[in-house]
Structure 1
Amino acid sequence: MKKLLSSVVGILIVVALLISAQHYFSAQTGTGDKSGKVLNLYNWGDYIDPALLKKFTKETGYKVSYETFDSNEAMYMKIKQGGTSYDLAVPSEYMIEKMKADDLLLPLDHSKLTGLKNYDSRFLNQSFDRGNKYSVPYFWGTLGIIYNDKYVKAKDIQHWDDLWSSKFKNQIMLIDSARDVLGITLITQGKSVNNKSVADLAAAQGKLTTLMPNVKAIIADEIKMYMAQDEAAIAVTYSGEAAEAMDKNSHLHYVVPSEGSNLWFDNIVMPKNAKHKAAAYAFLNFMSEPKNAAQNAEYIGYATPNKKALSLLPKSVREDKQFYPDEKTVRNLQTYDDLGQKWTEKYNDAFLEFKMTQR
């Protein structure tokens, strides 16, 4: 009897723990909030100031369920599968184009958007979303070169072709991205980053292979940590990642080659299966407020497209051409188009073959 009672008590404890865990999970994700005062946000990791999420909840009453992804493709597949309902997501420009074509987005009601007037006109009405019918700007930036002045002189690393110099043997880290690495190689050959020529892609792959002796590693987010710790002399990475590394190491510098590079945009969109549209519009307007956008830019380190927010940032930030390049440089930058499945696979295959040559 005592043994049986012990078993019953044990079962009750397990049930209680499960109920408690379910209640906790619901409170954290918002899925258990029957009032509907929830916002399901799907974003890149560490891509918003957590204090702003708390501020948004305090001001509006909407609890934020925050889930992250590590690539546009992973985000796309999860939304396409439709198993999870997100109210807002933050894809990059070429993925917005693809999601539009695949009917995965809701058009935005501009009458419910109060902050579009705050954005720099240069970052509105882009080719991937004319009239901003489906998206609101979030951050923008560039692909460039970060280098350590303890090992590299500035004059020796101003252009993409400089990466191929024999003096940089086993000293370069590359971002693990087919579009980016093949893109910069295409630029060195005077081609578009959206090139769809078999011959041009083969030529780029051939040239890229000759870069391998200089490559120390091909990695992703770890680049900023390794560069901050003096683990490499040079890296190819994104402007925001460079900014984070530079905050930790005064010997680091960032350059966008004048011959051209990638100009990327991350915008906020509303997936077609969004369930909390009022919360979504409230968040879009909240993040469009200059003070909030400026706070977010200072926390993340990427460039804000919000013109009024930019005016609130320190002068040293506003006038830093490493992250807010001048018009001449911007004119030579290229945005990625959606290549389509066939050409995306060709780029990925070419990059994979390159990576397989790594010693």
Structure 2
Amino acid sequence: MKQGFRKIVAAGFLTIALTAAGCSSTPSSQGGENGLDKELNVFNWSEYLPDSVIKKFEERYGVKVNYSTFSSNEEMLAKVSAGGGIYDLTVASDYFIQPMANQGLIEPLDLNNIPNFKNLEPDLVNKEHDPGNKYSVPYMGNTVSLAYNPDNIKTSITSFADLWKPELKSQIVMVDDQRFILGMVLKTLGYSGNDTDPAHLEEAKQKMLQLMPNIKAFDSDSPKTLMINGEVNVALVWGPEIALAQREKPQITTVLPKEGLMITFDNFVIPAGAKHKKTAEAFINFLLEPEISAEIAKDFPYINPNTEARKLIDKETLENIAIYPPPEEMKRVESLKNIGDSVKLYDRIWSEVKSSQ
């Protein structure tokens, strides 16, 4: 903001079984009937998957899902790096996938066990961070979007640069995400949000320190709460959090900043040593069913990469610019990239900035 298996006799049996189970209205009562194990350990971002969807999977396949959450990519990486086959499935942002693969932290997927992969938007698969989707399957994406409550904020907000206005003291909530936030600061300085020049990053650090009095909280779990409660009136947070806040307070206004947004997609990956790999792949396949994917989007309206699911998502959600920036804006959007060892510099700067709060 997060797996080895029992073999089956016939190579095509799992796909057939999954297809049959997907069409059946009778839930499987015991694990193992479909070549799956009886439990699955899932590690995901907070507020990213409805309980109702987990229960449907459990009822259909007779698999107990042990579900735990994290609040940042860094937290996820630390726990997955500890090894031991604790998790069978986790979610990683696109720019984390190549480093995790290079370090042997994730296992190759068998896409034959994920036939619903075909439902994904063609332009959102086979990307630079994972050619051929050897290790990952897109789940959901988002920008970190900018919004404010015009009922309580009288100053004009049209850009990221406006966040430094002194009248916004203690009025801002931001996601606790170093890449997005430092990327935003770099963009106000005229640099790429993926800049790795130490001098530019030092410049961004000093400017970020100047912004700290205006930040009331860093919150990646549920930043919408502060907006809804009126504790803050400006948010630089996950776009869907803005959309959810607007359900409670329609006056909250989304801003398309002059500097341009940044975007990332989260992806399913299977940690190395996972004990229930095929069950993890079955879970991915289940979540890519159009109806299930649309159900997820209803509760957590992130950018949905599922072509068939989008046909089932309401028009209001698809037209909300906090979630789906308009086409002309998407031409300016910058994707977060893998920055190699420079991430250590980001880590240090972020730690120094946060310690000043």
Give the TM-score category using the shorter length: 0.7 to 0.9
Residue by residue, what CA displacement relative to the aligned partner does 1:281-322 show, whole Å, maximum 9, x if unpaired?
Answer: 211111111100000110112221111111101111122222
TM-score w.r.t. structure 1 length? 0.83
Question: Quick check: 1:258–1:332 contact (8 Å CA) kept in 2?
Answer: no
Deviates more, 1:179-188 or 1:246-255: 246-255
Q: Please list, as runs of the form range in 1=range in 2, the aligned pairs for 1:135-146 lying within 5 A after superposition.
A: 135-146=136-147
Supply the AA of the counterpart residue of 1:134. Answer: Y
Between the aligned partners of 1:287 and 1:163, the Cα distance in structure 2 is 38
Residue by residue, what CA displacement relative to the aligned partner does 1:132-173 show, whole Å, maximum 9, x if unpaired?
Answer: 1111111101011121121236x8212111212333233222
Find the counterpart in structure 2 of residue 315 from structure 1.
Answer: 315
Q: Please list, as runs of the form range in 1=range in 2, the aligned pairs for 1:158-237 lying within 5 A after superposition.
A: 158-237=158-237
Question: Quick check: 1:118–1:308 contact (8 Å CA) kept in 2?
Answer: yes
> Max radius of gyration: which structure?
1
1:281 aligned counterpart, secondary structure? helix
Find the counterpart in structure 1 of residue 48 from structure 2.
Answer: 47
Between the aligned partners of 2:167 and 2:103, the Cα distance in structure 1 is 47
The percentage of counterpart residues that share the same residue type is: 37
Between the aligned partners of 1:125 and 1:331, the Cα distance in structure 2 is 19
1:347 and 2:346 matched: yes
Find the counterpart in structure 1 of residue 83 from structure 2.
Answer: 82
Find the counterpart in structure 2 of residue 7 from structure 1.
Answer: none
Structure with the bigger percentage of helix: 1
Find the counterpart in structure 1 of residue 246 from structure 2.
Answer: 246
Between the aligned partners of 1:111 and 1:244, the Cα distance in structure 2 is 36
* Root-mean-square deviation (Å): 2.1
Question: Quick check: 1:143–1:262 contact (8 Å CA) kept in 2?
Answer: yes
Between the aligned partners of 2:215 and 2:48, the Cα distance in structure 1 is 28
The Cα of 1:262 is off from its aligned counterpart by 1.7
Supply the AA of the counterpart residue of 1:47. Answer: Y
Between the aligned partners of 2:353 and 2:60, the Cα distance in structure 1 is 50
The Cα of 1:258 is off from its aligned counterpart by 4.6
Question: Quick check: 1:258–1:329 contact (8 Å CA) kept in 2?
Answer: no
Supply the AA of the counterpart residue of 2:157. Answer: I
Between the aligned partners of 1:226 and 1:303, the Cα distance in structure 2 is 23
The Cα of 1:249 is off from its aligned counterpart by 2.0
Between the aligned partners of 1:42 and 1:220, the Cα distance in structure 2 is 16
Find the counterpart in structure 1 of residue 259 from structure 2.
Answer: 259
Deviates more, 1:263-272 or 1:159-168: 159-168
Between the aligned partners of 2:73 and 2:112, the Cα distance in structure 1 is 29
Between the aligned partners of 2:47 and 2:321, the Cα distance in structure 1 is 24
Residue by residue, what CA displacement relative to the aligned partner does 1:244-298 show, whole Å, maximum 9, x if unpaired?
Answer: 3222222222334253222011111112212222212211111111100000110
4+ residue segments displaced more than 4 Å = none
Residue by residue, what CA displacement relative to the aligned partner does 1:321-350 show, whole Å, maximum 9, x if unpaired?
Answer: 22111222122222222333x422322322
Supply the AA of the counterpart residue of 2:171. Answer: Q
Q: Residue 280 and residue 322 in structure 1: after superposition, are their counterparts in 2 closer, same or farther (change >3 A)?
A: same
Note the residue ranges of structure 1 that are not aligned, 5 or more in a row.
1-29
